[in-house]
Amino acid sequence: MAKPMSFVVVFSLLALAPLCFSSRNGGFGSLYPQYYDHSCPNAKEIVKSIVAKAFAREARIAASILRLHFHDCFVQGCDASLLLDSSGSIRSEKNSNPNRNSARGFEVIDEIKSALEKECPQTVSCADILALAARDSTVITGGPFWEVPLGRKDSRTASLSGSNNNIPAPNNTFQTILNRFQNQGLDIVDLVALSGGHTIGNSRCTSFRQRLYNQNGNGQPDKTLPQPYAAELRNRCPRSGGDNNLFFLDFVSPTKFDNSYFKNIVGFKGLLNSDQVLLTGNDASAALVKKYADNSEVFFEQFAKSMIKMGNISPLTGSNGEIRKTCRKINN
């Protein structure tokens, strides 16, 4: 079903291209899918092939790469600031609470960058690599295809505080999560659709332990959790220890990009508090959860639109930023 849908998504998004590519601040952005057609015509194919090889080695990597793009765009915009290691005045975003011990896939981005530098030196930005790799990770797991607007430059700075404060946390209230999306120019539809990225990947015990033992600071579990599901989770997520024990975000089809995530939420089996509050925290978001649970094609189409919108958060273009030679450090 994903393949026919992909053509629908591509056609509809290209028809809406001027709207989708416009920048947060109004007017039209300078990102467009054909940006490297002449300067590096094999760029997209190189990214796709390396993502495919990484996925063949480990299916989990697709979700990890998708998450990197999300965590990058919510801090300073989509500028590959997340990829910078600490050096000089740069305090790496990799050490923030949302990323420390959980952000992964950096080696795959390094491999892509190395191949692109051999093909066309200092041409393709790390920020664009993240955007393309996130799309390819979605497609390879069965999700929708979309044309990725390109032409981002890489930042010369990072923001550890921005990473700690801008990225929604698993135990946030619905309103806090929505506020953090709205601060990036995204709306409630984008919030629910992009949360659907949790249809693939894993989460650590430490990210949802409070739901099992102390949801509201009163020593009681989250009342919305079905007891059999909660008991199953407690087996490998004790009150203390086991912080890094992994659990599927979508236990039905954890490596397939589909709408099972939303069906799980409707059945009160969302893993993270930030997943389940999409149903329990707001009527409008609950209606969207049910709509996507009922119709995977509607979800796929909106996910693609919202990914384009997210990928266009405050990009550096033109003379702003640089094309890093390696994604982990700024150019000398």
Kindly list the catalytic residues. 71
The one-letter amino acid at 115: A
Residue 75 marked as a ligand binder: yes
Residue 250 marked as a ligand binder: yes
Annotate 259-268 with b (16+ C-beta within 10 A) or e (fewer). bbbbbbbeee
The one-letter amino acid at 173: T
Residue 123 marked as a ligand binder: no
Name the nearest CA neighbour of 150 among 123, 181, 168. 123
C-beta atoms surrounding 49 within 10 Å: 14
Residue 196 marked as a ligand binder: no
Place of tokens 């740069």: 90
Residue 58 marked as a ligand binder: no
Residue 258 marked as a ligand binder: yes
CA distance 228 to 225: 9
Bridge-based pairing state of the strands 246-248 and 202-204:
antiparallel
Could you say which DSSP state residue 95 is in? G
Residue 72 marked as a ligand binder: yes
Residue 18 marked as a ligand binder: no
Residue 93 marked as a ligand binder: yes
Three-class SS state of 248: strand
Helix-helix angle 126-140:61-73, to 10 degrees: 140
Residue 37 marked as a ligand binder: no
Name the nearest CA neighbour of 96 among 106, 87, 86. 86
Residue 275 marked as a ligand binder: no
**Binding-site residues from annotation for heme b:** 198
**Binding-site residues from annotation for substrate:** 168
**Binding-site residues from annotation:** 72, 75, 77, 79, 81, 93, 168, 198-199, 250, 258
**Binding-site residues from annotation for Ca(2+):** 72, 75, 77, 79, 81, 93, 199, 250, 258
